[in-house]
Structure 1
Amino acid sequence: MAWVRSAGLRGVRHVIEELGGDADELATRAGLPLASLDSDELLVRDTAMAAMLELAAQKLNCSDMGLRVALRQDLNLLGPLAIAVRNSRSIAEALDCTAKYLFVHARGLSVALVPDPRGVRGVVGCRYGYPPGVSAPPQSIDMGLLFLHRTLLYLNGGSYGLRSVELPHAGVAPLARYESLFGTHVTFNRDAAVLRVPRSLSRQPIAGGDRTTRHLALTYLEQHLSPPDLTVTTRAKALLRQSLGTSHLSIEATANLLAMSTRSLQRHLHSEGTNYGTILDDVRRERAATLLTETRLPLTQIAATIGLDNQATLSRYARRWWNTTARQKRQTASDST
């Protein structure tokens, strides 16, 4: 099991309701929080997302559920990664960027250029999916591969020379449906989900990109988002830093964003020698120190920014953190400059 951003569920509610189904009921049965159907930034289990697509396909007798959802999605669902991709100089640069940062959207998923599975000269495969040996249900693969196809069409400004499509499962929708959407021949029960494309595609320039915008997007990805091998403590702190000053500081909300139960989060933190109260206190102290020593924000505003009720509460925290008041902490920093 891995987590994915709930942005991957964009379009699901619309398609289900268009077919006369109850999206909330299906989400509940699949183990998804209802808010994930209408928010991009929740972290949900990939297995739960896949289960919802399969449930919807079965309950609504809609064999092309994944394909329909993909038609409701666009590159923007990738958030800051979409900005970096859209402003790349070439398809190769966009794919390299996606390969490096796709974990931001979905851990475990990858997009990579591989040798052509049919061995044709001048052709390569654009492989989508999980590592070899890890499978995903058909509707999820259909949705993801069609999304990738539509993204390449967008980046290339039209047809990119797609030779054929290979899917690792038996066709769940009619072959004609697949071929009308991909615009080429589709085969099933292959080793992986692959778009067979011209080798020259990677050299194709992407029009309209801005290097400064791309640099800013990559800087954000580097500074604000955790690579997959960081500890739960580090990931939880990163989320809390983004949530300070909002209503999302509870352990339940943080666990939900990390796609785990509250009890599981507590166990992970305990095994790493800490607890939720301690990491929240650490994040508040770090932010308060920065705001007190590097800005002239009023103390009431600093208190609100770090999720405290008022200035008096901030001062009580400051005495515990630094054995002084918040005002004295600021004055000491000012006197030393």
Structure 2
Amino acid sequence: MSSPGPDPRLSLRDNDLSSRDMGPVVRAASLRGLPALVDALGGDSAALLARFGVTREAVSSDDAVIGVRSAGLLLETAAAELGRPDLGLLLAERQDAGVLGPLAVAIENARTLGEALASASRFLFVHSPALSIAQVADPEEVRGVLAVRYGAAVDGAAEPLPLPPQAADLGLGLLHRIILLLHGGPYGLRSAHLAHPPLVPVTRYTDFFGSDVRFERPAAVLRLPAALTAAPVAGGDRLLRTLALDYLESHFAEPGQTVAGRVRGALARSLGSAPPQVADVARLLRLHPRTLQRHLAAEGTTFEAVLDEVRRDAAHRLITTTDLPFAQVTAMLGLAAQSGLTRAVRRWFGTTPTRLRAGRRGS
């Protein structure tokens, strides 16, 4: 294969996660474990990596990035030449959250699995702006179940495009492994969905995920018990998490994101953990509180309005997709009393929390 042209390794600096020469990029650490795996399967990892302009040093680095397309082609080529169509799953078994760099610190030190998933969703662009994780409604429409969707984010599209099969197996497999490790064991996975047909006997997938696996679906998702978002993460350090989030916020502002969007993300992560204050969010965003308020005013909104939107969205998700007691929902929204939840739900949705939940059950 001819040389890919530009050196695919780049220094990962603030927002330096795209290249006009390569297109979208991903941290080279996403391939961590691949060289050893290829060699263990009888291949020549040095020669394989060289064909795609990737070095072992790049894969071991926390700073290097490579083209998303090159990474996908490398996985597909390795799987075909080694005769291991389950290569993506094999590599996922060798990885953990550490491949995500600074994002791993925020995830592993979250208070709850919900916080960890929110951090992954908010900051996955630090790993690659071409990838996305999002909590979405259950595609099977089962009450008390939510789906975590993984895919390729393209130009802000609402629905991610399918990834190459090996990349999809690796990404969804790694997401499953991270949740498993954070939870300390099986977490009640209902089923996993993949967009491609099975690459190996289905039992290989069911053994890996420990649940039913369904193929040729619209998107790659893990279907989880909605109540799992409240499950605690053992061993987390709040100070480390705060420092990690502070670092991510200050060093990796998402390209094109508004100040309101950054405030919304900060509030969504901290909702229910402490009274939401302008000064605290401003400090996280490295802005003076008055400067933050001026930016929000220029965007046609206020801190209070953004907070209300965040609470509204969280309330709808918690009420319609979980069976959590309303007192717990109240606390998770950072409201002082359950009567405040009732008033807010009436204002947002024109009904009561009980009727909103019942309406979802009857739909």
TM-score range, shorter chain: 0.5 to 0.7
1:51 aligns with 2:78: no
Tell whether the 8 Å contact from 2:26 to 2:130 is kept in structure 1 after alignment: no
Structure 1 counterpart of 2:40: 18
The aligned residue for residue 191 of structure 1 is 218
Q: Structure 1 residue aligned with 2:249, among 208, 218, 222?
A: 222
Residue 134 of structure 2 corresponds to residue 107 of structure 1: no
* CA shift for structure 1 position 133: 5.3
CA distance in 2, matches of 1:104, 1:51: 22
Residue 164 (structure 2) pairs with residue 137 (structure 1): yes
Give, in angstroms, the shift of residue 223 of structure 1. 2.2
The within-5 A match list for 1:1-337 is 1-33=23-55, 35-131=57-153, 132=159, 134-229=161-256
CA distance in 2, matches of 1:96, 1:192: 19
Q: Distance in 2 between matches of 1:98 and 1:145?
A: 13
Which 10-residue stretch deviates more, 17-26 or 220-229? Answer: 220-229
Query: What stretches of structure 1 move > 6 A for 4+ residues in a row?
Result: none
Q: Is the 8 A contact 1:32 1:49 kept in 2?
A: no
Could you report, residue by residue, the CA deviation over 1:57-85 in whole angstroms, capped at 9, with x for unpaired residues? 01111111111111110111212111111
Q: How many residues align?
A: 230
- Are 1:107 and 1:228, in contact at CA under 8 Å, matched by a contact in 2? no
How far apart are residue 226 of structure 1 and its match?
Answer: 4.5
Q: Deviations over 1:256-294 (max 9, x none)?
A: xxxxxxxxxxxxxxxxxxxxxxxxxxxxxxxxxxxxxxx
AA in 2 matched with 1:211: R
Distance 2:234 2:92 in 1: 24
Residue identity opposite 2:200 in structure 1: A
Structure 2 residues without counterparts, runs of 5 or longer: 1-22, 154-158, 258-363
Measured on the aligned residues, the alpha-carbon RMSD in Å equals: 1.5
Q: For the Cα contact (< 8 Å) 2:151–2:160, is it kept in 1?
A: no
Q: Residue 314 of structure 2 corresponds to which residue in structure 1?
A: none
Superposed CA offset, 1:78-114 (max 9, x none): 1211111111111111111111111111112111111
1:155 and 1:20, CA in 2 relative to 1: closer, same or farther beyond 3 A?
same
1:227 positional shift: 2.3
Q: Is the 8 A contact 1:127 1:194 kept in 2?
A: yes
What SS class does the counterpart of residue 63 from structure 1 fall into? coil
CA distance in 2, matches of 1:30, 1:226: 30
- Greater shift after overlay, 185-194 or 131-140? 131-140
Shift of 1:183: 0.5
Rounded to whole Å, the distance in 2 between the matches of 1:25 and 1:171 is 29
User: 1:280 — aligned with what?
Assistant: none
Kindly state the Cα deviation for residue 30 of structure 1 after the two structures are TM-superposed. 3.0
Post-superposition offset of 1:50: 0.7
Tell me, in whole angstroms, the C-alpha distance in 2 between the residues paired with 1:220 and 1:143: 27
So what's the TM-score if we normalise by structure 2? 0.61
